[in-house]
Structure 1
Amino acid sequence: MKAALYRFFIELTNGPFISAALRKFTNSRMSRVFIKSYAAHYQINQDEMSKDIRSYSTLHSFFTRRLKEGARVVDNTHDSVASPVDGVIEDTGTITSGKEIIAKGKTYSISEMLGSKHQAEKYEGGTYIIIYLSPSHYHRIHSPVSGKVVNSYSLGSKSFPVNRFGLKFGHSVLAKNHRVVTEICSEETTVAVVKVGAMFINSVVVTNTEREWEKGEEVAYFSFGSTVILLFQKGAFIPGDIVKSAGEIKMGEPLGRLSGKKNQ
């Protein structure tokens, strides 16, 4: 009953009119008056921002702020996988033989998430990591590994909450929300980076269209609180302690390392 009511009210408020109105407002100069209260409420660390808080002209420009050089240190060990974002590791595990992941007790189809069974096949038996970004987090996205971009495409049109309530009561939000999928082929393996939009302002803006990405390089940003899912091929990823224990992580910190085992 709770899940049904949750989905009803979210569907009721998640129409194109409200989304467009919110997007227009957060990009307007009128939204500027809310920046300081937003920063205070979410306890934004202003010392690491690249600009003074007074220089942001809209709430959107503040939300998508960049950081000072050196505010994040990228682990450049050759075989490490760097966190692409600041966030909370919500879940991790093994992709089943049915090409599914189980997050917060709910099952998600990798085939649906990636758009086809063919795309999902290469990740069967591999590892997934789900990283959630709250409104308090830095919302720029960076490459977790160095390699060649072999695939990049968008799926889905609507977005629903991807916080813990959304994962618990929502209907397959990680596989149905608006999302941008990028596959990176490193020397060792292929890694899928699935950038999932969140409710209302569900845009994922790609800032790097190069075909070669360096680990830690900025590649995109979210326009609202969102989620990144990393998919690894079977036997290709060895998780580090931070993944096993879950919790907060900063962009650039090591999630684990690539094993060097290819799974074509």
Structure 2
Amino acid sequence: MTFNVLLQYILPHRALSRVVYWATRWTFAPWKNFLISQIVQRYQVNMAEATQPDALAYQHFNAFFTRKLRPDARRADTDPSTLISPADGKISQSGPIVDGRIFQAKGQEYTAAELLGDEAAAAPYRNGRFVTVYLSPRDYHRVHMPLTGTLKETVHVPGRIFSVAPFAVEAIPRLFARNERLVCHFEGEHGPFVVVMVGAILVSSVATVWDGLVIPPYASSIRRKSFAGQNITLERFAEMARFNMGSTVIMLWPEGVAELDALQPQQAVKVGQRLGQPPSH
């Protein structure tokens, strides 16, 4: 076990995330300008895409990190039936769900039931398809709909807050099924699908367009919220949530609902980029 991996087990995850949560919202100009400048320079962030291109004009670091893009900065794939990427980032893994098991990295996997926090809810995805997208600090941190869906339920699953960087994903067993996360269940034209917002160390803060800030507070037990009958339908490519700092998005579809393109691990993707299509297409 490397030192970096060992740290993931011994660091006080939630305490650190609470400190970072407030530090990234401190409006003291020298502080927030230092943080923003470090990220822009280190990761070569393309500020020309943002509605506010002046990085130091943002009220605090988190406002910069969750910045909105110009309307023409991202376009959805022109075929309205295709599945599209919900986020800027890199494909971590994608492919078939085999007897309820999802591939994490070489030698690592987890189950759909563990990820969703519910055996019954995972049943439709037993032999379905999945895509995992990793967002790095350089990426746009708003998450969009991979296809049109009506919100049925959210499930806030408590857990650890391990890093989701590649070194941790390769070394920590069942990482995505152990981290704090928000599971969003939707019903689409061709059947149900799930978008999972996975928290990460120094992040673990998730906000949705329908509920505002959901994490924190952190959960000590599974928290379910039904949206049945509320007719919350989000169109394909519409913004659905954001990470306050970066993390990972995982999408699941049942068998027969999605045919994925030949996506490769570490392949760069942008919001709106085609990931696949329904089988009937």
Q: Which residue of 1 aligns with 2:83?
A: 81
What's the CA shift string for 1:193-243, capped at 9, x where partnerless? 1111111221111123571010011111001220111111112211124x2
Q: Which residue of 1 aligns with 2:245?
A: 224
Unaligned runs of 5+ in 1: none
Q: Secondary structure at the match of 2:59?
A: coil
1:6 touches 1:169 (CA, 8 Å); kept in 2? no
Q: Which residue of 1 aligns with 2:126?
A: 124
Q: Secondary structure at the match of 1:158?
A: coil
Q: Secondary structure at the match of 1:62?
A: helix
Deviation at 1:154, TM superposition (A): 1.1
Q: Which residue of 2 aligns with 1:235?
A: 256
In structure 2, what is the Cα distance between the partners aligned to 1:14 and 1:64? 25
Summarize the alignment of residues 119-158 of structure 1 with structure 2, pairs less than 5 Å apart.
119-158=121-160
Q: Which residue of 2 aligns with 1:252?
A: 272
Q: Which residue of 2 aligns with 1:14?
A: 12
Q: Secondary structure at the match of 2:252?
A: strand
In structure 2, what is the Cα distance between the partners aligned to 1:40 and 1:181? 33
In structure 2, what is the Cα distance between the partners aligned to 1:117 and 1:87? 29
> How many residue pairs align between the two structures?
257
1:197 touches 1:224 (CA, 8 Å); kept in 2? no
Which amino acid in structure 2 is aligned with residue 207 of structure 1? V
Q: Which range is displaced more, 221-230 or 12-21?
A: 12-21
What's the CA shift string for 1:156-208, capped at 9, x where partnerless? 24311111111112232111111111122111121111111111221111123
Deviation at 1:73, TM superposition (A): 0.2
Q: Which residue of 2 aligns with 1:43?
A: 44
Instruction: Give the counterpart of 1:25 among 23, 26, 38.
Output: 23
In structure 1, what is the Cα distance between the partners aligned to 2:265 and 2:38? 33
Of all paired residues, the percent bearing the same amino acid is: 29
In structure 2, what is the Cα distance between the partners aligned to 1:142 and 1:208? 13
Deviation at 1:244, TM superposition (A): 4.8
Which amino acid in structure 2 is aligned with residue 29 of structure 1? T
Deviation at 1:78, TM superposition (A): 2.9
In structure 2, what is the Cα distance between the partners aligned to 1:230 and 1:16? 25
Q: Which residue of 2 aligns with 1:193?
A: 195
Which amino acid in structure 2 is aligned with residue 217 of structure 1? A
Which amino acid in structure 2 is aligned with residue 50 of structure 1? T
Q: TM-score, normalised by structure 2?
A: 0.86
In structure 1, what is the Cα distance between the partners aligned to 2:203 and 2:265? 31
1:177 touches 1:198 (CA, 8 Å); kept in 2? yes
Q: TM-score, normalised by structure 1?
A: 0.91
Q: Secondary structure at the match of 2:121?
A: helix
Q: Which residue of 2 aligns with 1:208?
A: 210
Alignment root-mean-square deviation, CA: 1.8
